Amino acid sequence: MINRLVRKSTIYVYNGKVPVNCMKGSIHGKTRLSLNMIQSFYIVARQVSFTLLMMLFSSLGYSALNQTQVNEAYGNLFMHGYSRDNLKLDVGNALAVRSGFSPMEKFLTDIRSYYSGEIFNVNMDRRAEAVAEINAHIANKTRNKIKDMVKDLDTNMTMVLMNYVYFKGLWQKPFNQDDTRKANFHVNTTTKVTIDMMKRTGHYKAYWDNGNHTTVIMLPYKGNSTMMVVLPKEGKMKEVENLISRDSIRHWRKYVELIMPKFFVSADASLKEILKEMGMTKAFENTADFSGISNKVKIKLSKVSHRATLSVTEKGTEAAASTVVEFTLHSLPPTVRVNRPFLVFILESVTDSILFMGKINNPADV
């Protein structure tokens, strides 16, 4: 199987000012808010925080943390995102700066040094050309998976911070394409759709948490990443979103028959309200303080846009389609049938971090 995920975040900065003392808590720790606001499909990534940190912690007005330590820590985490054998994970950042606007040199140096950010100038007085240039950069970095991310630019725009990620993984235990069948996926109690459902019988790490009304299946990729599928009981999605945590799930290994959707989904979303719910409110106000980015022009955060696509199929290249024979069954294994809304996480074992997370309400809704 091959699994592809492409994600892109964009932050727009306007004349007017932006804060640094605007976050009350960890972006990583506030996953519940993000998931609860999802209607169809949405992915929040570790890289969203990369983009925000490029802006927030490079502003000298933020004194709650040592700026150098934060930059170095995220620089180290960022380096773990690069591709390894059998796993393609490209992560990058870019900053489009309005011609004539000069951010502080330290801000630019931090972006280059700690976040591998590319910096280029655009003529925002000629907005159509600036939009085309920014979108071309994004499309190139995401292998044309994300196009036309930026629709328009305001005349007062000073900077556009961009972050992208391209993920491509091969299953450690591929699905057999011949076993894929059409089956019903129950979106809710009244709606069902017919989709391609993959099937494989074999050893998986499986977790049955009756207290939290959920089943968890771990699908390892070749390399250091794993997909975690969280399947709540019918009608229990909201409860699971509120309760799920690393400590709430008991771990054991079980021989199971896994039936799950083959799907491709794509979605756009604005992170503005989510970030405000997380305590990042002053960033969008005229009283915001981004003196660490510019001490000549007052700027503020205007909006944060996010786009993600996720494709899950049986296997990738021909070389990855090898058959794995484990042993002959003497009794029927338990079956895990992912035929209703579920949560999906991609985990990275080296840094023990969540690369992506999302909710699949309807695999047929592209």
What CA–CA distance (Å, rounded) separates 179 from 197?
A: 9
CA separation (Å) from 71 to 13, 32, 57, 83, 143? 21, 26, 8, 21, 28
pLDDT at 326: 26
Can you read off the two tokens belonging to residue 65?
Answer: 């943390």
Edge-to-edge strand ranges of the sheet holding 2-15: 117-122, 87-98, 157-170, 2-15, 299-312, 263-270
Query: Among residues 44, 86, 357, which one has the least CA distance to residue 224?
Result: 86
pLDDT at 353: 67
pLDDT at 60: 38
Model confidence at 100, in pLDDT bands (50, 70, 90)? confident
18 versus 323: the higher-pLDDT residue is: 18
258 versus 97: the higher-pLDDT residue is: 97
Q: Which of 17-26, 64-73, 94-103, 244-253 has the highest mean pLDDT?
A: 94-103
pLDDT at 345: 80
The fold for domain 2-169+264-310 equals Antithrombin; Chain I, domain 2 (3.30.497)
pLDDT at 191: 93
Query: Among residues 122, 187, 197, which one has the least CA distance to residue 161?
Result: 122
Least confident stretch, 62-76, 117-131, 257-271: 62-76
Can you read off the two tokens belonging to residue 128?
Answer: 């159509």
pLDDT at 255: 57
In sequence order, the 6+-apart residues with CB closer than 8 A to the CB of 190 are none
pLDDT at 216: 83
Give me the half-sphere count of Cα atoms (radius 13 Å) on the Cβ side of residue 122: 26
Model confidence at 132, in pLDDT bands (50, 70, 90)? very high
Cα 6 from chain centroid? 8
Torsion sign over Cα 326, 342, 183, 197: negative
- Quick check: helix, strand or coil at residue 278? coil
Model confidence at 274, in pLDDT bands (50, 70, 90)? low
321 versus 127: the higher-pLDDT residue is: 127
Query: Among residues 80, 53, 81, 55, which one has the least CA distance to residue 69?
Result: 53
What CA–CA distance (Å, rounded) separates 41 from 59?
A: 33
Task: Give residue-wise pLDDT tens across range 138-149.
Answer: 888 877 877 887
Q: For the chain, what is the mean pLDDT?
A: 67
The DSSP code for 173 is S
Q: Roughly what angle, to the nearest 10 degrees, separates helices 46-56 and 67-79? A: 150
Task: Give residue-wise pLDDT tens across range 311-362.
Answer: 666 642 222 222 222 222 333 446 778 889 988 887 777 666 677 777 888 8
Question: How many other CB atoms sit within 10 Å of the CB of residue 30?
Answer: 19
Stated pTM of the model: 0.64
What CA–CA distance (Å, rounded) separates 307 from 18?
A: 23
Q: Is the pLDDT score of 187 beyond 70?
A: yes
In percent, how much of the chain has pLDDT > 70? 55
Task: Give residue-wise pLDDT tens across range 153-162.
Answer: 777 778 787 7
Where do the domains of the chain lie? 2-169+264-310, 171-262+315-360
CA separation (Å) from 145 to 8, 140, 167, 182, 263? 10, 9, 11, 26, 15
Least confident stretch, 78-87, 194-203, 205-214: 78-87
**Mean pLDDT within 166-181:** 83
171-262+315-360: CATH, from 2.40.30.10, 3.40.640.10, 3.40.50.1220, 2.30.39.10 = 2.30.39.10
Q: Is the pLDDT score of 213 beyond 90?
A: no
pLDDT at 268: 64
Question: How many other CB atoms sit within 10 Å of the CB of residue 276?
Answer: 15
pLDDT at 301: 72
Q: Is the pLDDT score of 7 beyond 50?
A: no
What CA–CA distance (Å, rounded) separates 217 from 207?
A: 6
